Amino acid sequence: MTRKITAVIPVRKGSVRVKNKNLKPFADTNLLELKINQLKQVKLVDDIVVSSDCEKMLSIAREHGVKTHTRDQYHASSEASNSEFFENLAHCMDAEYLMYSPVTCPMISLETYHDCIQKFKQDDELENLVTVSQIKHHMWLDGKPLNYNIAESPNSQDLPDINAVTYGICIISKEDMIKYRNVVTENPTFKVLDEIESIDIDTEFDFMVAEMVYKKLRGIK
């Protein structure tokens, strides 16, 4: 039986680093509406749910014809850890398989969505599919080089690939999301994204760069 996938868009009122990030004007739209419209074009998505504590965002979701989940105050706050949030979100979803789809990754293409979902649906042995970007920098951790030897320092292009989870697409079973309290399991399959698709909005600078790239690619002035 083909695995049915529900895309979950998590948004909340409070945005710590970018004020009103989810509804702030972004080119000719906003991040929430952009993500909803992106996912509605992905034929392999079986259902879409917007999870939020904000009635305005839930109303926008309903206007766009997608399902909604009202998040409780605690799990929409910064008091809740990521682990608590993921576990609670999974418990609240009426679906066997979930695709975590944050609005903060606006540059993922329809082709990438299609490829990821198709791969997950066709391979029953695939436990977890996660998008990553590959980092090639001379990196340090706890006062020591992480990925190279100082005495034999390679060119950056020759450094080992370090995968950084972008969270743009995370496909996982509800059961595993509850078990691991995360959208990444101990046995993920990685989908490597390019620099543009890897854009993740965490700061005002990220927002500015993402909007500039989005406008450039779509010919919006």
Local structure of residue 127 (DSSP, 8 states): -
The pLDDT of 195-221, averaged and rounded, is: 95
The pLDDT of 35-42, averaged and rounded, is: 98
Q: Looking at the predicted structure, is the pLDDT value of residue 17 above 90?
A: no
pLDDT tens column, 19-38: 899 999 999 999 999 999 99
- pLDDT tier at 1 (50, 70, 90 boundaries)? low
Domain 5-218 has CATH 3.90.180.10: no
pLDDT of residue 120: 97
What is the CA angle 53-185-119, rounded to 5?
A: 95
Q: Looking at the predicted structure, is the pLDDT value of residue 14 above 80?
A: no
pLDDT tens column, 159-193: 998 999 999 999 999 999 999 999 999 999 999 99
Write the DSSP string, 144-197.
Answer: EESSS-GGGPPPGGGSPPEEEEEEEEEEEEHHHHHHHTSSS-SS-EEEE--TTT
pLDDT of residue 118: 97
Burial class (CB in 10 A: 0-12, 13-18, 19+), 184: buried
- pLDDT tier at 15 (50, 70, 90 boundaries)? confident
The pLDDT of 189-206, averaged and rounded, is: 97
pLDDT of residue 83: 98
The pLDDT of 204-215, averaged and rounded, is: 97
